[in-house]
């Protein structure tokens, strides 16, 4: 369960969930539109258990790489209420995680009620004694920039 302090962002996108999902999974095109995750190294058809290396650019222009592993890849489907849903999640695997100092799982969830826009929600569920050093506020800023750019990309 995410804490109130976990970085998050949400936005409504006027596009089908399947269109938004396709953009999220097209990591080879991130450099064309994504100001936060400017590059993602992963398999062309990602699967649960696959590694993914994210090249992140902070608002100040500095960057870092973040080794992750895909933990959830729930393709678009309709739930029992007829809401279309999809989820991508990955777990941070950097040295701080290996030492038990900072753990994180990023969830990107999509939902679309019949006839409505697609809602994009993302959150990083952080834990560990050095979470504050992970920069939750700068991560949240990145998530907000990512969400706004995803909306622009999908609505163009």
For residues 113-134, average pLDDT:
95
Q: Region 128-145: what's the mean pLDDT?
A: 93
- Which residues have CB under 8 Å from 61's CB, separation 6+? none
The position carrying tokens 């938004």 is: 20
Adjacent-strand bridge partners of 126: 104
Annotated domain spans of the chain: 8-155
Residue 152 is classified by DSSP as H
Architecture of the CATH domain 8-155: 2-Layer Sandwich (3.30)
Q: Does the pLDDT of residue 134 top 80, yes or no?
A: yes
| Mean pLDDT of the 74-91 span | 98
Q: What is the CA radius of gyration of the chain?
A: 15
> Which of 106, 105, 114 minimizes the C-alpha distance to 85?
114
Contacts with 130 (C-beta within 8 Å, 6 or more apart), sequence order:
96, 101, 102
Q: What is the pTM of this model?
A: 0.94
Query: What average pLDDT does range 87-100 have in this prediction?
Result: 96
Q: What is the pLDDT of residues 16-36, one digit of tens each?
A: 999 999 999 999 999 999 999
């Amino acid at each position: 369960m995410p804490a109130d302090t976990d970085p998050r962002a949400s936005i409504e996108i006027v596009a089908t969930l399947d269109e938004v999902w396709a953009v999220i999974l097209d990591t080879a095109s991130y450099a064309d539109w994504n100001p936060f995750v400017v590059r993602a190294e992963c398999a062309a058809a990602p699967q649960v258990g696959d590694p993914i290396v994210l090249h992140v650019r902070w608002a100040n222009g500095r960057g870092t790489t973040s080794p992750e592993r895909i933990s959830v890849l729930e393709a678009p489907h309709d739930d029992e209420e007829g809401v279309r849903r999809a989820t991508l999640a990955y777990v941070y695997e950097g040295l701080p995680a290996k030492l038990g100092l900072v753990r994180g799982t990023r969830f990107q969830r999509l939902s679309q009620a019949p006839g409505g826009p697609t809602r994009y929600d993302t959150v990083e569920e952080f834990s560990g004694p050095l979470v504050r050093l992970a920069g939750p506020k700068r991560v949240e800023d990145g998530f907000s920039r990512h969400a706004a750019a995803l909306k622009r990309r999908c609505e163009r």
